[in-house]
Amino acid sequence: MGISERKAKEKEELKGLILQAAKKLFVQHGVEQTTIRKIAADIEYSVGTVYVYYKDKKDILHDLHTQGFKQLGSEMRVLFNVADPMERLKALGRVYTQFAFQNTDMYNLMFNLKAPIEFLDSVHQEEWNEGKATFDVLKTTVKQCIDKGHFQGHELEALSFAIWGAVHGMVCLHISQRIKGVSLTNPDVVVMNGYEEFVKLLDKE
């Protein structure tokens, strides 16, 4: 490995350390309470080093969101190999749930933590390809289901949002450990069992 390649590798590794530390601190303390100084202290580098890679906290948060949605979207798009859109729709929910359980911190960052208003404004002002593309996987699949005769009388975007919301709600109840507070018989598997019950409702459409 040459000098330039080694430097590029070290640069990517340090950037990865910054993102990993920021994700941990954002989830533990909230985005508003996390500072560049705290991120730098966590990785034992200077504040100036972090600023070499990111201009501000909003920039780090955007990179983390893009990383998370890129991973989720990639896992979901693999399912376009499933020709039957209804079967693909069912599988999308399972992939989404598995992603949330295997990447809990990232999932919380993507969907549950309140982001600073300036971050939200920046997302609205620019085309955020990864976030939009991930929802479009679901929306495209629902449209194909409608085209095949399913979900007659339903509106595409609202139905896509409702399906996402139902799965997200079950996932969040598990992640926040709210399930344990209602004395369910099998709390460890109730999300997957609940999703399969949701699938049965989809089958009736």
**CATH class as words, domain 1-54:** mainly alpha
pTM: 0.86
Question: Out of 7-16, 171-180, 183-192, which region has the weakest mean confidence (pLDDT)?
Answer: 183-192
Q: Which residues have C-beta within 8 Å of that of residue 169, sequence separation ≥ 6?
A: none
Q: Tell me the per-residue pLDDT of 34-47, one tens digit each, with 9 for 90 and over.
A: 999 999 999 999 99
| CATH code for the part of the protein at 57-203 | 1.10.357.10
**Residue 1 pLDDT greater than 70, yes or no:** no
Residue ranges per domain, the chain?
1-54, 57-203
